[in-house]
Chains A and B, each alone.
Chain A
Amino acid sequence: MPGRLKTVLIRIAQAIPVVIGVVIISFVLTRALPGDPAVYFAGMAADEDSIAQVRENLGLDKSLPEQFLVYVSDLASGNMGTSLSTGQPVAQDLASRLPASLELTLTALILSCAIAIPLGVLAATNPGSMIDHVCRVLVTAGVSLPTFFTGIVLIYVFYYLLGIAPSPLGRLDFTYIEPDHVTGFYLIDAALAGDWETWLGALKQLALPAITLALFTLAPLARMTRAAMLSTLSSDFVRTARAAGLTDETVLFTYAFRNALLPVITTLGMVFSFTLGANVLVEKVYAWPGIGSYAVEALVVSDYAAVQGFVLAMALLFVVLNLLIDLAYTAIDPRIGFNSQ
Chain B
Amino acid sequence: MSDLATDPGIGKSNGALDHLIYVLKENPVTLIAFAMFGVLIFVAVFGPVIAPYDPLQSDAAAALQPPSLAHWFGTDNLGRDVFSRTIIAARLDLIISVAAVALSFVFGSFLGAVAGYWGGLIDGVLNRVFDTIMAFPLFVLAMGIVAALGNTVENIVYATAVINIPFYARLVRAEVNIRRTSGFAQAAKLAGNSDLRVLACHIYPNALPPMMVQVSLNLGWAILNAAGLSFIGLGVRPPTAEWGIMVAEGANFIVSGEWWLALFPGAMLMFAVFTFNLLGDGLRDIVDPRQRT
Binding site for B on A (CB under 8 A): 17-18, 21-22, 24-26, 29-30, 32-34, 140-141, 143-149, 152-153, 155-156, 159-160, 167-168, 223-224, 226-227, 272-274, 276-278, 280-281, 284-285, 295-296, 299-300, 302, 304, 307-308, 310-311, 314-315, 318-319, 322
* Contact between chains at B270 and A284 (CB < 8 Å): no
* Contact between chains at A144 and B132 (CB < 8 Å): no
Q: How far is the CA of A295 from the CA of B228 in the complex (A)?
A: 14
* Contact between chains at A314 and B136 (CB < 8 Å): yes
Residue of B148, B233, B273 near A304 (CB, 8 A) is B148
Q: Does B140 contact A (CB under 8 A)?
A: yes
* Contact between chains at B255 and A159 (CB < 8 Å): yes
Query: Cβ of A145: which chain B residues have Cβ within 8 Å of it?
Result: 270
Q: Does B278 contact A (CB under 8 A)?
A: yes
Q: Does B201 contact A (CB under 8 A)?
A: no
Q: How far is the CA of A146 from the CA of B144 in the complex (A)?
A: 20
Query: Cβ of B255: which chain A residues have Cβ within 8 Å of it?
Result: 155, 159-160, 167-168
Q: Does B12 contact A (CB under 8 A)?
A: no
* Contact between chains at B132 and A18 (CB < 8 Å): yes
Sorting the interface of chain B by its residue count into under 10, 10 to 19, 20 to 34 or 35 or more gives 35 or more
Query: Cβ of A148: which chain B residues have Cβ within 8 Å of it?
Result: 228, 231, 244, 247-248, 251
Q: How far is the CA of A21 from the CA of B128 in the complex (A)?
A: 8
Task: For the complex formed, measure the closest distance between the CB of A274 and the CB atoms of chain B, giving whole angstroms.
Answer: 8
Task: For the complex formed, measure the closest distance between the CB of B163 and the CB atoms of chain A, giving whole angstroms.
Answer: 10
Q: How far is the CA of A295 from the CA of B232 in the complex (A)?
A: 10
What are 19 residue pairs bridging A and B, where the CB atoms are less than 8 Å apart in the complex? A22-B135, A24-B132, A34-B149, A140-B277, A144-B277, A145-B270, A146-B224, A146-B227, A148-B247, A152-B262, A160-B254, A224-B293, A277-B228, A281-B228, A281-B232, A308-B144, A310-B140, A311-B144, A318-B135
- Closest residue of chain B to A15, judged by CB? B135
- Closest residue of chain A to B225, judged by CB? A277
* Contact between chains at B140 and A152 (CB < 8 Å): no
* B 261-278 to A, binary, CB cutoff 8 A, 1 in contact else 0: 011001001100110011
Task: For the complex formed, measure the closest distance between the CB of B238 and the CB atoms of chain A, giving whole angstroms.
Answer: 13
Binding site for A on B (CB under 8 A): 128-129, 131-141, 143-145, 147-150, 220, 224, 227-228, 231-234, 244, 247-248, 250-251, 254-257, 259, 262-263, 266, 269-270, 273-274, 277-278, 281, 293
- Closest residue of chain A to B134, judged by CB? A273
With A148-B247, A149-B247 as contacts: A311 and B136 at CB distance below 8 Å = yes
Q: How far is the CA of A299 from the CA of B269 in the complex (A)?
A: 24
* Contact between chains at B143 and A295 (CB < 8 Å): yes
Query: Cβ of B133: which chain A residues have Cβ within 8 Å of it?
Result: 25
* Contact between chains at B138 and A26 (CB < 8 Å): no
Query: Cβ of A299: which chain B residues have Cβ within 8 Å of it?
Result: 143, 147, 232-234
Query: Cβ of B136: which chain A residues have Cβ within 8 Å of it?
Result: 22, 25, 311, 314-315, 318
Q: Report which residue of B150, B231, B234 has the largest number of chain A beta carbons within 10 angstroms of its beta carbon.
A: B231
A-B pairs with the 8 shortest C-beta distances? A277-B139, A21-B132, A311-B144, A149-B266, A276-B137, A227-B293, A144-B274, A144-B273
* Contact between chains at B266 and A152 (CB < 8 Å): yes
- Closest residue of chain B to A167, judged by CB? B255
* Contact between chains at B266 and A315 (CB < 8 Å): no
* Contact between chains at B293 and A223 (CB < 8 Å): yes
Task: For the complex formed, measure the closest distance between the CB of A154 and the CB atoms of chain B, giving whole angstroms.
Answer: 10
Q: Besides A146-B228, A315-B140, 13 other CB < 8 A contacts?
A: A21-B135, A26-B144, A29-B145, A29-B148, A34-B148, A146-B224, A146-B244, A148-B228, A156-B254, A168-B255, A281-B228, A299-B143, A304-B147
Task: For the complex formed, measure the closest distance between the CB of B194 and the CB atoms of chain A, giving whole angstroms.
Answer: 33
* Contact between chains at B232 and A280 (CB < 8 Å): yes
- Closest residue of chain A to B152, judged by CB? A34
* Contact between chains at A152 and B278 (CB < 8 Å): no
With A29-B145, A140-B278, A307-B144 as contacts: A278 and B293 at CB distance below 8 Å = no
With A17-B128, A144-B220 as contacts: A29 and B144 at CB distance below 8 Å = yes
Task: For the complex formed, measure the closest distance between the CB of B254 and the CB atoms of chain A, giving whole angstroms.
Answer: 5
Query: Cβ of A311: which chain B residues have Cβ within 8 Å of it?
Result: 136, 140-141, 143-144, 147
Query: Cβ of B293: which chain A residues have Cβ within 8 Å of it?
Result: 223-224, 226-227
* Contact between chains at B132 and A22 (CB < 8 Å): yes
Query: Cβ of B266: which chain A residues have Cβ within 8 Å of it?
Result: 146, 149, 152-153
